[in-house]
Chains A and B, each alone.
Chain A
Amino acid sequence: MFETSKSFLVIRICTILFIVIGIVLFLGSRHIGLVFLGAACVLWLIGEVLENGKKHLIEVLKSGFKTIRLPLAGIFLAFFIGGIFLLITGYQPLKSFGAMIYGGLVKNWHVSILNAVPLIFTALSITIAFKGGLFNIGAEGQYYVGTMAATWLGIRFDLPSLVAIPLIFIIAGGCGAAYNAIPAILKVKTGAHEVVTTMMFAYIARTISSLFIRFNGGDPTLSAHAYITDSISESTWLPTFKSFLPQANYRLHIGILIAVITALAVHHILHRTRLGFEIRAVGLNSFAARTQGIAVGRIILITMLLAGLLAAFAGVTQVLGLDHKMFENINAGYGWNGIAVALLAGTSSIAVVFCALFWGALDAGGQYMSRTLQTPTSIVEIVKGLILFLILARYLFRYFRRKA
């Protein structure tokens, strides 16, 4: 690969660079960032043509269009049905949805992005497990472990940012992976189904988190801090865009950048490396994988560890980037929502980014809508549920068509 297509590699690296620069500038409220993102798209296309030829590209685009068609239709249909609900209950659907779109995409777009960051990580965690034929339903638990580890380290670390932040990512990610190692080993050794075990572990982590908060500053005798840990030291905060682009929103942190790069990395691992090949092989047909010399148990273990690591990253970015402390019972269920995003993205790690942004925008828009129009936010949940249902109906549809 390195000998045969150096130009390809250069183009790929440029693409990633352009994506990063584009995101940074765009989030810094500079519209030139969009130009960079557009250029990145073009570069990606050129790279594809270089490697696989024109014909292949056209096929990829065609199939991409085909796969995106149905979910899009599903989303529109979900909004339509949601609108009917609004009508019946006496709200104005057009106005409400207008406010939602305005809030999610224009007024509070930075909230959408902040919402999307942890979702990208948890959805990636579920996606990678999915590719390996596993259902990491307990990403919520690994998220909690990541949050706790990051908080614990953040409070204690007194190191320069450049050392502290990567260290926290590594250690907390490792904790998430280690936490998922137990269900993974149970799965490999005894065949215990990961859906059950990881879900149980999610509740365990959640319960432990309350204790953790008590031990790290949450003083039950003080009503003000009963449910909150101490703040992490400022050196461990993720840098915000505002620190180098003064026009940027003050809450936007570089977590989104890390998330997008992670998504690209996951995509690369799954489709370009031996490990990813083996993960996909095990996921699609573990019998053939085994017969062809792949150590299925080892791959399952690695897949689960990676899934745990990614879910923990969600917690880390949330603590280091946004909250700077840990709250009790104040989480948006990123683990569970990650499942929805992963399903919506159809197990493509690139699509995960867009779907997470969409999901985040739904939440942000919903909050804006309820604040300005008093339309209840539950309509957002209804729309989300409908979307999921319609997306899963697609699988059902396919299943029945195959049977007939």
Chain B
Amino acid sequence: MWYAILILLILRKLIVAQTVLETLGISKSFAKIKANQNINIKLYEGEIISILGENGAGKSTLMNILYGLYRPDEGRILLNGAEFEASSPREAITKGLGMVHQHFMLVETLSVTQNIILGEEPRSWFGINYRKAREDIINLSKRYHLKIDPDEIIANLTVGLQQRVEILKALYRKARILILDEPTSVLTPQEIEDFFSIVKNLRDQGTSVIIITHKLEEIRAISDRVYILRKGRITGEFITRDVSVVDLANHMVGRDVILQVNRTNHETLDEICFRIDDLKVMNNRGIPAVDGLSLYVKPGEIVGIAGVDGNGQEELSEAVIGTRRIQDGAIHLRDQSIKHWSIENRIENGIGYVPADRQKDGLILPFSIAENVLLGNQNARSMIRYGHINRSAIRNRATKLISRFSIVAGGPDLPANYLSGGNQQKLILAREFDREPDFLLVSQPTRGLDVGAIEYIHNQLITMRDRNVGILLISMELEEIFSLADRILVIFRGRILKEFEREEATMNDVGFYMTGGTHRNSSNV
């Protein structure tokens, strides 16, 4: 009996893998924002885990804490069971942590060998021992099946090969734990396949891998376990093979309490105020991000675009407002093609825009509230006449908007960076509403806001709709789409994959199409 237990214990020790990395209650805040709250994750030897979360969920913060770039406010990290506190990336590297950033950290003009050994050069009497370095790298690449020409210049390599160099760089520094930040975002489908087999190979040779991503399919393809991060907290932990993509999506997007929106029924007018036909837009790397997208918006309705982040939403909104070039297709405002209009023209003719990144695209933070109200209204005769700003007019206007939209601010002269996130967003909405647009593009209007502000903004959007404004709402938050939209379009890889009327849509169905609509079987498990 005793022997049996002992043998079992020994066997367990042998079978159950060793924990290599463990975080215990890690928290980190930036100013008021809690980027990480009580994060507990475990990483075993020879395992691939994914950390899934949307932009701003706190993935990068967590990784930067592990990698020694940030110091956690609370919590501990255990590395191979010992207390670990990296104060710099260099220290993290020496303790066996390697990181491959989303944007590669390579010197483009140097060779593969030079890049890999940079900072860790093998020495000889006369300087760097390139011969040894080269041999080491060739051995390494054979061992891990990472085929690469050590003498090639980085600039001549494809992105996939550059990533390989980054991985080799980490392995050369004897990394036992590899952190990969959005590794597939820059790869072509073929390269992604190669990448998967490389990572699996690494795992089989005992390296532990953490993949940070917001792409659902990849997680299923590659990882053993997955942690879901949402608003700085771990909201789920799954064995990958036991979980469906739809479940993952639901956890990632979240199903908070549905907020109270006074959503009355409103008759939409039977005309079209905004139409997109077969739109094609490239992303920054020249790959089509919006690829043959068509939609229309009627006055007095809110059309919601649901989708996982990175399926062309950003490029779509940039194309509509005019900051991104349209490759092909057409955009019509009422009956006019606006494809070749300047941004100024679009604004003046009734397109309103609430950008996703309010601090970057929406406001000029050092400007006062009054000046921010003026922004975008440079042609309004009530504010600027003969090229001169009518200060008292813009100040009056700002004061009016502050009270009408209950913006909490000292006065119109307060710089916008003294406002809270919610009040900044209210200011943007106030400015756009004040222009009385015919069509309003709203992207991620409540990201990062507290419940009160969300409710307020939702109700304002409904009010706008009731005044027969056509609203196109892009949101990663399913519940937001459900509480606002009259029609729901699902975007996937730059196309509208499916259209629902509000009444007939369910979260499950929409989630199913958000992931491409091909995992129906697994979702029924």
Tell which of A10-18, A164-172, A282-290 binds the partner: A282-290
User: Once the chains bind, are A56 and B413 in contact (CB under 8 Å)?
Assistant: yes
Can you name the residue of chain A whose Cβ is closest to the Cβ of B361? Answer: A291
User: Once the chains bind, are A284 and B378 in contact (CB under 8 Å)?
Assistant: no
- Determine whether B384 belongs to the interface, using a CB cutoff of 8 Å to chain A: yes
User: Once the chains bind, are B364 and A277 in contact (CB under 8 Å)?
Assistant: no
- Determine whether A274 belongs to the interface, using a CB cutoff of 8 Å to chain B: yes
| Cα distance A371–B507 in the bound complex, in angstroms | 87
Chain A positions 260-303 with a Cβ under 8 Å from a chain B Cβ: 272-275, 277-278, 280-281, 284-285, 287-295
- How far in angstroms is the closest Cβ of chain B from A342? 18
User: Once the chains bind, are A287 and B391 in contact (CB under 8 Å)?
Assistant: no
Per-position binary interface string of chain B over residues 358-399, scored 1 when its CB falls under 8 Å from any chain A CB and 0 otherwise: 001111111100010011101000001101111111000000
User: Once the chains bind, are B364 and A281 in contact (CB under 8 Å)?
Assistant: yes
User: Once the chains bind, are B347 and A274 in contact (CB under 8 Å)?
Assistant: no
| Cα distance A275–B386 in the bound complex, in angstroms | 11
| Cα distance A285–B347 in the bound complex, in angstroms | 19
Question: Cβ of B355: which chain A residues have Cβ within 8 Å of it?
Answer: 291
User: Once the chains bind, are B388 and A291 in contact (CB under 8 Å)?
Assistant: no
Most buried by B among A56, A59, A280, A285: A285
Can you name the residue of chain A whose Cβ is closest to the Cβ of B371? Answer: A277
User: Once the chains bind, are B392 and A295 in contact (CB under 8 Å)?
Assistant: no
- How far in angstroms is the closest Cβ of chain A from B400? 16
User: Once the chains bind, are A281 and B375 in contact (CB under 8 Å)?
Assistant: yes
Chain A positions 1-32 with a Cβ under 8 Å from a chain B Cβ: 1-2, 4-5
User: Once the chains bind, are A4 and B347 in contact (CB under 8 Å)?
Assistant: no
Question: Cβ of B344: which chain A residues have Cβ within 8 Å of it?
Answer: 293-295
- Determine whether A51 belongs to the interface, using a CB cutoff of 8 Å to chain B: yes
- Determine whether B331 belongs to the interface, using a CB cutoff of 8 Å to chain A: no
- Determine whether B321 belongs to the interface, using a CB cutoff of 8 Å to chain A: yes
Question: Cβ of A273: which chain B residues have Cβ within 8 Å of it?
Answer: 387-389
User: Once the chains bind, are B364 and A289 in contact (CB under 8 Å)?
Assistant: yes
- How far in angstroms is the closest Cβ of chain A from B355? 6
Question: Cβ of A274: which chain B residues have Cβ within 8 Å of it?
Answer: 378, 384, 387-389
User: Once the chains bind, are B378 and A294 in contact (CB under 8 Å)?
Assistant: yes
User: Once the chains bind, are B364 and A284 in contact (CB under 8 Å)?
Assistant: yes
| Cα distance A274–B362 in the bound complex, in angstroms | 19
Can you name the residue of chain B whose Cβ is closest to the Cβ of A1? Answer: B390
User: Once the chains bind, are A277 and B376 in contact (CB under 8 Å)?
Assistant: no
User: Once the chains bind, are A293 and B343 in contact (CB under 8 Å)?
Assistant: yes
Question: Cβ of A287: which chain B residues have Cβ within 8 Å of it?
Answer: 360-361
- How far in angstroms is the closest Cβ of chain A from B468? 24
Question: Cβ of A292: which chain B residues have Cβ within 8 Å of it?
Answer: 343, 347, 375-376
Question: Cβ of A59: which chain B residues have Cβ within 8 Å of it?
Answer: 413
User: Once the chains bind, are A288 and B363 in contact (CB under 8 Å)?
Assistant: yes
- How far in angstroms is the closest Cβ of chain B from A294? 7
User: Once the chains bind, are B391 and A1 in contact (CB under 8 Å)?
Assistant: yes
User: Once the chains bind, are B365 and A285 in contact (CB under 8 Å)?
Assistant: yes
- Determine whether B342 belongs to the interface, using a CB cutoff of 8 Å to chain A: yes
Across the interface, B364 reaches (CB within 8 A) one of A5, A51, A285, A295, namely A285
- How far in angstroms is the closest Cβ of chain B from A176? 23
- How far in angstroms is the closest Cβ of chain A from B441? 11
Most buried by A among B323, B344, B375: B375
| Cα distance A287–B360 in the bound complex, in angstroms | 6
Question: Cβ of B375: which chain A residues have Cβ within 8 Å of it?
Answer: 281, 288-289, 292
Across the interface, B353 reaches (CB within 8 A) one of A4, A52, A281, A291, namely A291
| Cα distance A295–B364 in the bound complex, in angstroms | 16
Q: In terms of DSSP, what is the predominant structure of the interface of chain B?
A: mixed
Question: Cβ of B371: which chain A residues have Cβ within 8 Å of it?
Answer: 277
| Cα distance A289–B384 in the bound complex, in angstroms | 17
A contacts with B, residue count (CB < 8 A): 27
User: Once the chains bind, are A290 and B360 in contact (CB under 8 Å)?
Assistant: no
User: Once the chains bind, are A288 and B388 in contact (CB under 8 Å)?
Assistant: no
- How far in angstroms is the closest Cβ of chain B from A135? 18
Question: Cβ of A52: which chain B residues have Cβ within 8 Å of it?
Answer: 391
Question: Cβ of B387: which chain A residues have Cβ within 8 Å of it?
Answer: 273-275
User: Once the chains bind, are A1 and B362 in contact (CB under 8 Å)?
Assistant: no
Per-position binary interface string of chain B over residues 320-359, scored 1 when its CB falls under 8 Å from any chain A CB and 0 otherwise: 0101000000000000000000111111100001010000
User: Once the chains bind, are B392 and A291 in contact (CB under 8 Å)?
Assistant: no
Most buried by B among A1, A272, A288, A295: A288
User: Once the chains bind, are B342 and A277 in contact (CB under 8 Å)?
Assistant: no
Known: A56-B413, A277-B378. Is A291-B390 also a contact (CB below 8 A)? no
Can you name the residue of chain A whose Cβ is closest to the Cβ of B385? Answer: A1
- How far in angstroms is the closest Cβ of chain B from A212? 37
- How far in angstroms is the closest Cβ of chain B from A241? 33
- How far in angstroms is the closest Cβ of chain B from A184? 20
User: Once the chains bind, are A272 and B342 in contact (CB under 8 Å)?
Assistant: no
Can you name the residue of chain A whose Cβ is closest to the Cβ of B346? Answer: A293
User: Once the chains bind, are A272 and B388 in contact (CB under 8 Å)?
Assistant: yes
Question: Cβ of A1: which chain B residues have Cβ within 8 Å of it?
Answer: 385, 388-393
Question: Cβ of A293: which chain B residues have Cβ within 8 Å of it?
Answer: 342-348, 376, 378
Known: A1-B392, A272-B388, A275-B387. Is A288-B343 also a contact (CB below 8 A)? no
Known: A1-B388, A51-B392, A275-B387. Is A290-B364 also a contact (CB below 8 A)? no
Chain A positions 228-282 with a Cβ under 8 Å from a chain B Cβ: 272-275, 277-278, 280-281
| Cα distance A389–B388 in the bound complex, in angstroms | 38
- How far in angstroms is the closest Cβ of chain A from B259? 28
User: Once the chains bind, are A291 and B374 in contact (CB under 8 Å)?
Assistant: no
Can you name the residue of chain A whose Cβ is closest to the Cβ of B374? Answer: A277
Question: Cβ of B363: which chain A residues have Cβ within 8 Å of it?
Answer: 285, 288
| Cα distance A51–B345 in the bound complex, in angstroms | 33
- How far in angstroms is the closest Cβ of chain A from B481? 23
| Cα distance A312–B84 in the bound complex, in angstroms | 61
Per-position binary interface string of chain B over residues 47-81, scored 1 when its CB falls under 8 Å from any chain A CB and 0 otherwise: 00000000000000000000000000000000000
Known: A277-B374, A290-B323. Is A284-B367 also a contact (CB below 8 A)? yes
Interface residues of A (CB under 8 A from B): 1-2, 4-5, 51-52, 56, 59, 272-275, 277-278, 280-281, 284-285, 287-295
5 A-B residue pairings within 8 Å (CB atoms) = A4-B393, A285-B364, A291-B343, A293-B344, A293-B345
Q: A281-B375, A288-B375 are in contact. List 4 more A-B contacts (CB 8 A).
A: A56-B413, A284-B365, A285-B363, A292-B343
User: What are the nearest 3 A-B pairs in CB distance?
Assistant: A292-B376, A293-B344, A291-B361
